[in-house]
Every structure is written in structure tokens, then in C-alpha cells.
Amino acid sequence: MNLIDHKIAEENAIFDAMAPQTGDGFANHATPLIRNCWYVAGRSGEIGRTPLARRLLGVDVVLYRTEAGRPVAMRNRCPHRSFPLAKGRIVGDTLVCGYHGMAFDADGVCAHMPALNRAPASAAVRTFPLTDRGPLTWIWMGPAHLADEALIPALPWLTDPAWGTVTGDYRIKADYVAMHENLIDQTHFPFLHPDTVGTPEYARSKLTAEVEGDQVVIRRILTDAPPPAVYGKPAGIMGKRVTRTSEARFVSPALHRAYAEIIDSSPEPGQPGTYRYHITHVFTPETSSSIHYWWFNSRDLKPGDAGIDSFLHDASSKAYYEDVEALEWIMEVVEQDDEPQFDLSFAPDRPGLMARRIMYRKAMAEVVGGQSPVAS
Amino acid sequence: MAETPGRYIDACILGRRDLTERIAEFLIGAADRSPLPPGEAGSHIELRFGGPSGRFLRHYSLVGPLDPQPSPEPFWRIAVQREDRHRGSAFLHATFREGTRLQVSRPIGTFRLSHEPGPVLLVAGGIGITPILPMLRSLHLRNRPFRMFYAGRSRSELAFVEEVEAMGGSSVTVHDAAVAGLPDLTGLLNAQPAGVIVYVCGPGPMIDALRSAAAGLGWDPARIRHEVFNAAHRPSDGPVTVRLRDGREVAVGPGTTILEALEAAGVDTLSDCRRGECGLCATPVRPGAAVIDHRDSYLGPAERAEGRHICVCCSRVAGGATLELDIA
């Protein structure tokens, strides 16, 4: 063994000795939040020339734009006396603290302190990589050197004019793990969402669940069955029997997306016969027991049709609010019931457990070295 | 409510190895073996360690992992060049071994890569590689466009040169001054894409030369980003005596600051940044013979000329002189 190999072996030994002992497991509300991921910080339109305060992954962040329009995210906490910087004001590209007037530039470095002759060069506030992508602005809360923008998921239907999109948002008092498990579990549809996406046939249809890298995907095909109202009504095919293909994907801790295709094999004249839907669920832990949630329902049928927009917006809001309520009821029980319970799982829970295992491994891999760095 | 963290963490040396004839690498871990938080690229830490004439406080950049893969390290890596007339680095080279105890601050990150998109040029001179290497790794891991220029008096004096070449590939130019002579910095800047931001660390004259090259090209000075160094220590510093209002005398060793000597003697002091910026340690001086060598950036020209205050964290008087402080 040469000297360099020997030193590397020594370093590895130190590293191994310091690693926490972790078994395998499934993430839940008590698992440390995964930080090495692009999360949505907000809609790009809500970040502007007025400071916007938002707690993301347990950290108070302030969001604004420079004069040139670049989005900026920094800790919402002055390094001097912890005054929330969002209570201050924007001057040029700097954010000026409302307590003693310390000004921080868009890189978070102190540019001016009125009480001193010269700005203290060692004073700075942590900033976070922040990037606009269509209607959303994404933030990286883990170590900045891992913030590869190529990892931001592509969601082309949100900007493509061939697709019509309706959207909404909720703040949910539930954890993001439960939200992911809810979204990849479609066996609850007929019971929690009987009026929108759920049909009795759907609950019993066969699905395949696969792990693809760090993602989990479920697919199912339901033939010769009535469409669910949320898809059938806008297309005007409620009376028909159609083929419904659907895919739901745990993409990352920040994103779940679903794709549905409804095929009417004998369409009325002038009707497309195939109807496609992309459902995009993005959410970001606010804390380990609350999330910011944005949903998007995109269709290739008549983009811009106000009647369909209105119907889909209302139907989606109703369905997702049913999820919100369910998850909040569950969280309330989990947090407040003193008698502990280890939940049972059944065969249909496989996709959810697969996703929770991936989240657990990601979270544990970060416990050693992926802690959020402290800038100052 | 979250616990308020202390300013310093108890730490120990986990290992050392020699990188060049004068540069040694040290790995630092928390004394309680908990993982240390990774610093952002370009950040530095304060090291406090005991010496023969009191405590030393020195700033060193966090080099970060050398692995081109995104693997984390639960310890910190620094590289220290032995300057024979700088007592801190010579003492550290002579005494730091696996198990040596010291205190470290949390990472201080003001020399930082902007999140601004656009091309980057990294420039390192000699030991100035220490904050530049993690910047290189950050750009490499995120597939961002950059060029790097790493210069030294000879290749054998360039720490981490192989890691730099492995990570940076064809984006890196290593400049061996023994072979190629002084670098053409104006030519270097001229060859960069429009809108480039330059991050430079190295000897003061090199940073000055790069800034004047940029000025000569009519560049906005804000496009040249560099570390602001702690001005507390100079090779020529000699021992100093401080006399307090009650006549008590405190000896200040050549590698120690007046502030550190006062603290060791149990005198009540206030301080924060320890690099002449915050002004908290500005201390009243009684009229005397000693001429103050102001090294802080807190006192303005008028206050300096008046000579009634001294920032004891970094400013000093000539070796052998006695400084009269108006404190007890």
C-alpha cells in the first residue's frame, strides 16, 4: 500500500467510526427532513420586490428579486440580533434590516452597516440556491455545492400552450412523508374521493409497482369501465365505457406526478378520442409536521376553455382538500394520542412503503455530512 | 426553542500529512466525535490553540473533501503553510499531532460563490488554493462553466495540484513560475468570457496585480472577489508590554494579540470579530510615547490620528514599547 492509499484508508476508517449506526427502515414524520433535493419555494409570481417570508424545512427564509429579476433566498434572520430580515426593506439589490440598518447584498454579504465606518467583511447571512422554472421557483436547502440545477425536475406541460392547466395550493398540517404515501396510494380513491377520481372498479384493478432508481412508479390499466367524473365530465363521455391508463410516480421528496390517459374507442364525430392529463403535486416541508402544497391539473383537451378550467379547478380543489383533511386528522391522532401504535400494512401499501424506504435511506445518508452548513 | 450554539467547538486533530515541503494538511474533528457541519465553499474557521506565550487565534480556509464525488466528510480539512517568521503557523507545524486539542469556530462564509448564473474564473496563488479548491469542487459537482488558474513558484510547491487537475480537467491551467515566469494576468482576464466573475486567493501582491489588471481593462471592481485577511499578525511583530490604569503590566508575546494577552490575564474585555471590523474591542489609550500601528478597519482616519483608542484584537505598538491602556 503506498502512502496515499494508506492515508485514504485511514480517513475512511475515521469516517466509518463516526458514522451513525442505522438499520433499514421506512421514513415517517419523525425522520430527519431530506435536504439534498430541489424543493419548491413558491410560485415565481409571488416572489418580487417585496420581501416574502416563508419557513422551509424548518428554516426561516426570505425571498425577493434583484432589480434584474434574479430570485434571491436568504435566511430570514439578521446575523446581528436575529431580527427577521423580511420585516426590513429592499434597496436596489440589497435587503436592509429593519432593526439597525445592516444591508446585505444578493450574495448575503454585508454591504453596509450604518453604525460603522466600513462594512464588516466577516458579516454575512446564509443564502440558498434559488432558480425559476416556469410557474415555480425551486430552492436547494442542503449544501450549496450539491445544488446541480440539472436535478430540477422538468415539468414541460406547465408552460406548454398545448396544455391547459388549473392550479391551487394548501398549507397542510401534516408531514411530507404521509403526503407522499397518500399520493402513491390509489386504493383510497373510491372512499375518500368517491365524487371525483374514485370509482369502485378502480379500487380492485390490478396495479404494478416498481422502483426505478430513486423513484417509485405505479401503473394500471382499467378497460371497459365508466370514466371517473373528473375526467369524464369535461370530455362529455360520462355515459361511455373507456380504457383508463394511469401512472403515478414518486419522483423526489419534493414532487409526485401522475399521468392519466382516457381512451374512448368509438368517439363521437369531432371528438379526440384520447384525453391526457398530467397531475403535478409539489410540496415542501414547512416543518417536520407541516407542508406547503401546490397542485396543478393539466389537460390536452381545449386549453383555455373557461368552463373546463372552472370545472377542473373546483373538482380538483375538492378532491385534494379531502386529502388535506384526511392527512390533518391522521397527524392530529399521531401527535396527540398517548397510546402508541405501529401501523399495520397490507399488499396495496407496497408502493407507499417503497417510497418511504427511499426517503429513509436518503435522510439517513445525510445525517453524517449533509447537515445544513452554518454560514455565519 | 432552538438552543443557542456557543461560539467555539472543542475539537482535536484527527490526522496530519505533509503536502509539500512547507504545507501540511490537518484533519480536525469534534472532541465529542459528533460530525462537524460542512462549510460552504470558500468559508473559513477560527482556530484557537495554546502556545508558549498564551493563546493563538488563526483563520484557515476549509479545504473540504478531495473526492470529486459528492461524498460528505464529518471532519474538517485545513492546509497550513509554515511561515518561519509567523509564530502561529510554525508552532502549529511543530506541535499539531493526532489527538492535539484545540477550539474551532463554526464556518464563517463571506468569501462565497455567488448564486448568480454565469461564467467563473478561479485564481489561486500558492497556499491560496485552500478556499479555491472547494469552489472548484462545487462548480465541478454542479456542472457549472468555469476556468481555473493555479500559479506557484514551482509545481512541487503547489498543494493539491493533482486533485485540482483531476477535478478541473482541461478547465485548469497550472502555472509554474519557475518555468514560465510571472503570469500575464491581463492576458488571463482578456481570455475570459463576457460577464465572468473572478474569485482569487493568494499572496497580497498577486491579488493587487489582478485587481489592477481588471481596472486596466475597465472592469467593474466588483467582478474580482477576494478574501479579506486578518491583519493582526506580521512577521516583524515583537513582544509588547501593556500597562493598565492601576499600574498592572501584561506581557504580550510576539505571536499573540493584545486582546488575547488581556484575556489570559483576566482583564474584562469585550470583543467579537477579532479581525478589526466590529469595533467592540476599541479600548481607550492614555497619552504616552507608544505610537499605535492601527491594523483595524473600524477606526476612521480622524480617530486614528487622535490616537485615543486602539482595537486590541489586531492593532499593536512597536516591539519593546509599553502601551498605556485606560482600563483596569
| B289 lies in the same domain as B256 | yes
Query: Which neighbouring-strand residues pair with B151?
Result: B125, B175
Q: How far is A77 from chain B (nearest CA, A)?
A: 14
pLDDT per residue over B36-73, tens digit each?
A: 988 999 999 999 987 655 578 889 999 999 998 887 78
CB contact under 8 A, A14 and B108: no
Query: What pLDDT, on the 0 to 100 scale, is given for residue A201?
Result: 73
- Is residue B234, in this structure, part of any structural domain at all? no
Sorting pLDDT into bands at 50, 70 and 90, what band is A16? low
Q: How far is A123 from chain B (nearest CA, A)?
A: 7
| B217 lies in the same domain as B127 | yes
d(CA A58, CA A40): 14
Cβ-Cβ contacts under 8 Å, A113 against chain B = none
- Is residue B216, in this structure, part of any structural domain at all? yes
- Is residue B280, in this structure, part of any structural domain at all? yes
Q: A271, A280, A217, A267: which is closest to A246 by C-alpha?
A: A217
| B124 lies in the same domain as B214 | yes
Q: Which of A170-184, A269-283, B70-84 has the lowest mean pLDDT?
A: B70-84
DSSP string, B217-245: TT--GGGEEEPPPP-S--TT---EEEE-T
- Is residue B113, in this structure, part of any structural domain at all? no
| B215 lies in the same domain as B269 | no
Query: What pLDDT, on the 0 to 100 scale, is given for residue A81?
Result: 95
A vs B, Cβ pairs < 8 A, gives 138
Total residue length of chain B: 328
Of residues A186 and B103, which shows the higher confidence score? B103
Domain boundary among the residues B196, B228, B260 is at B228
| B198 lies in the same domain as B244 | no
Coil/strand/helix, residue B148: strand
- Is residue B131, in this structure, part of any structural domain at all? yes
| B178 lies in the same domain as B258 | no
Q: Which of residues 317-376 of A touch B (CB under 8 A)?
A: 366-376
Residue A108 sits at the chain B interface (C-beta within 8 Å): yes
Query: What pLDDT, on the 0 to 100 scale, is given for residue B83?
Result: 83
Residue A106 has pLDDT above 80, yes or no: yes
Q: What ipTM was predicted for this assembly?
A: 0.85
Q: A321, A365, A368, A322: which is closest to A27 by C-alpha?
A: A365
d(CA A34, CA A214): 13
Q: What is the mean pLDDT of residues B223-249?
A: 88
CB contact under 8 A, B70 and A371: no
The C-alpha angle with vertex A147 and arms to B61 and A64, in degrees rounded to 5, equals: 95
Q: What is the CATH number of the domain that holds B294?
A: 3.10.20.30
Of B74, B112, B278, the CB nearest to A15: B74
Of residues A371 and B205, which shows the higher confidence score? B205
Query: What pLDDT, on the 0 to 100 scale, is given for residue B236?
Result: 84
Single-letter amino acid, residue A58 = G
Residue B237 has pLDDT above 50, yes or no: yes
| B93 lies in the same domain as B140 | no
Count of domains for chain B: 3
| B91 lies in the same domain as B129 | no
Q: What percent of chain A has pLDDT over 70?
A: 91
Closest alpha carbon within chain A to B59: A122
Q: Which of A296-300, A370-374, B58-62 has the lowest mean pLDDT?
A: A370-374
Q: What is the CATH number of the domain that holds B131?
A: 3.40.50.80
Q: Are A142 and A37 in contact (CB under 8 A)?
A: yes
Domain boundary among the residues B208, B228, B248 is at B228
Closest alpha carbon within chain A to B227: A121
Query: What pLDDT, on the 0 to 100 scale, is given for residue A372?
Result: 39
pLDDT per residue over B239-292, tens digit each?
A: 999 999 999 999 998 888 999 999 989 999 999 988 899 999 999 999 877 889
CB contact under 8 A, B112 and A108: yes
| B222 lies in the same domain as B277 | no
Q: Cell 426593506: give the residue.
A: A89
- Is residue B168, in this structure, part of any structural domain at all? yes
Sorting pLDDT into bands at 50, 70 and 90, what band is B201? very high
pLDDT per residue over A50-78, tens digit each?
A: 999 999 999 999 999 999 999 999 999 99
Q: How far is B270 from chain A (nearest CA, A)?
A: 16
d(CA A70, CA A117): 30
- Cell (9 digits) for A29: 414524520
| B69 lies in the same domain as B149 | no
Cβ-Cβ contacts under 8 Å, B275 against chain A = 121-122
CB-count burial class (<10 Å; 0-12, 13-18, 19+) for A45: exposed
| B202 lies in the same domain as B275 | no
Q: Which residues contact A138 (CB under 8 A, 6 or more apart)?
A: A38, A39, A40, A41, A130, A131, A132, A152, A254
pLDDT per residue over A201-217, tens digit each?
A: 776 678 899 999 999 99
Domain boundary among the residues B170, B204, B228 is at B228
| B215 lies in the same domain as B168 | yes
Q: A252, A326, A256: which is closest to A296 by C-alpha?
A: A256
- Is residue B268, in this structure, part of any structural domain at all? yes
- Is residue B233, in this structure, part of any structural domain at all? no
Residue B172 has pLDDT above 50, yes or no: yes
- What domain range is B219 assigned to? 120-228
Coil/strand/helix, residue A62: strand
Query: What pLDDT, on the 0 to 100 scale, is given for residue B53?
Result: 54
Q: Are A177 and A359 in contact (CB under 8 A)?
A: yes
d(CA A62, CA A77): 9
Q: Cell 436575529: give the residue.
A: A82
Q: What is the CATH number of the domain that holds B43?
A: 2.40.30.10
CB contact under 8 A, A122 and B277: yes
